[in-house]
A and B are shown apart, each in its own frame.
Chain A
């Protein structure tokens, strides 16, 4: 294999193959395909046979049933069963293609601007559909015109929010060094797990408090009781499953264990954020529909804006956190042992 001639696949074909292979597996799989390259048709055939397995494997790796159920609940409540059935597989495939690094600040800002403008389009569509059922009023027309100014007002706010998340991620400790001794790595891992245990206890306590609150608020009714049960179950799970270091005999085993700890933590974190935001999103959506339905369009629109901003915030949090985790896993993969 070492002495293979530098016969490379056509640029266009290679670009398509790179695009199809999920980022987490891209470097190793594309490298293997390059190494065994003979002709364009052989390369394309090999890629066609390989890609589905790699995509399904990544889907399985990132599959998070509790998160998927929460997303299904949210989609069902906001857009109905058909949208939920159609969008869930899309979300699963999107998970497989999640990037292996945090987004660049430029990209993150571009995302914030896009969300603000998409929000205006969405609100205009929602407003038009309500407006067609109600008499044409001067207030209604002004509101429609006013919606065009929502995006320019929201852009700085969303960018600021996004910048705050980027700065907070920048401050997180990273595995920047290329060479570590086994003892250094073990210490770093133990510190990571100890911090995790602390934050898990804290979050369990907050979840317990939220469960009590939801149970005691009569206005929430059945939803409150269900919420209380969800939160209590999550708190119990966190208390009963503290992160524990698996035994590792050498540097390689230690590194693999640390990678698994990071991946597990990211899956749990993702679930907890969705658990926190799903009820709030559902309540905001219901309020938006109810308030707009009762003729107070401005109130409904404000609730809609709040829901979309909350969704933006949680997605950005997840994106930053997942990117940071993937970066750390990548650093661990490339880490070399320093003896002594």
Chain B
């Protein structure tokens, strides 16, 4: 049984998936803002969601080596876990069905499903 994801969780998981090895606080926040444009998202909301998803076992985190541009502090990197990937795929399938249904019903009005 896969975990049901909220909309914001789906977005954050997608950002981690897209960033691959380079997924940490700053880059995840930037990617989430890009995905939710024009909505502004606070970085704190991203941290809270990351913590919650880590507790659910959807993602895993680890600390990198310290870097000078961060005042000698480490980055907390994130990666999707198997359950997180499954949950994201399930959400994508649901989203696809929604898009198809909307496109089917609004197709005559000139609405095009995003590719």
Contact A46 B43 (CB under 8 A): yes
Docked complex Cα distance between A46 and B25 (Å): 13
Contact A6 B44 (CB under 8 A): no
Q: Which chain A residue has the least Cβ–Cβ distance from B66?
A: A31
Which A residues lie within 8 Å of B99 (CB)? none
Q: Which chain B residue has the least Cβ–Cβ distance from A49?
A: B42
Which A residues lie within 8 Å of B29 (CB)? 32
Contact B44 A50 (CB under 8 A): yes
B31 at interface, CB cutoff 8 A: no
A246 at interface, CB cutoff 8 A: yes
Which A residues lie within 8 Å of B44 (CB)? 49-54
Produce 1/0 per residue, A1-35, CB < 8 A to B. 11011101000001000000000010111111011
Q: Which chain A residue has the least Cβ–Cβ distance from B56?
A: A260
Choose from A1, A30, A255, A257 the contact partner of B71 (Cβ within 8 Å). A30
Q: Which of B2-10, B46-54, B102-110 contacts A (4 or more CB under 8 A)?
A: B46-54
Docked complex Cα distance between A257 and B81 (Å): 11
Q: Which chain A residue has the least Cβ–Cβ distance from B79?
A: A252
Q: A31-B71, A32-B24 are in contact. Are A334 and B47 (CB under 8 A)?
A: no
Which B residues lie within 8 Å of A335 (CB)? 62
B112 at interface, CB cutoff 8 A: no
- For the complex, count residues of A whose C-beta is within 8 A of B: 40
B76 at interface, CB cutoff 8 A: yes
Which A residues lie within 8 Å of B51 (CB)? 25, 57-58, 60-61
Interface SS of chain A = helix
Choose from B57, B74, B79, B82 the contact partner of A249 (Cβ within 8 Å). B82
Min Cβ gap A54→B in Å is: 6
Q: A27-B74, A54-B47 are in contact. Are A334 and B60 (CB under 8 A)?
A: no
Contact A256 B60 (CB under 8 A): yes
Which residues of A30-89 have CB atoms within 8 Å of chain B's CB atoms? Answer: 30-32, 34-36, 46, 49-54, 56-58, 60-61
Chain A residues near B (Cβ < 8 Å): 1-2, 4-6, 8, 14, 25, 27-32, 34-36, 46, 49-54, 56-58, 60-61, 246, 249, 252-253, 255-257, 260, 333-335
Instruction: Sort A-B residue pairs by CB-CB distance and give the 7 closest, nearest first.
Output: A53-B44, A31-B73, A256-B60, A28-B76, A31-B70, A32-B25, A50-B44
Q: List 22 A-B contacts (CB under 8 A).
A: A4-B69, A5-B69, A14-B71, A25-B47, A25-B51, A27-B74, A27-B76, A28-B75, A30-B73, A32-B29, A32-B70, A34-B70, A36-B26, A49-B43, A52-B44, A57-B52, A60-B51, A253-B60, A255-B60, A333-B62, A333-B63, A333-B76
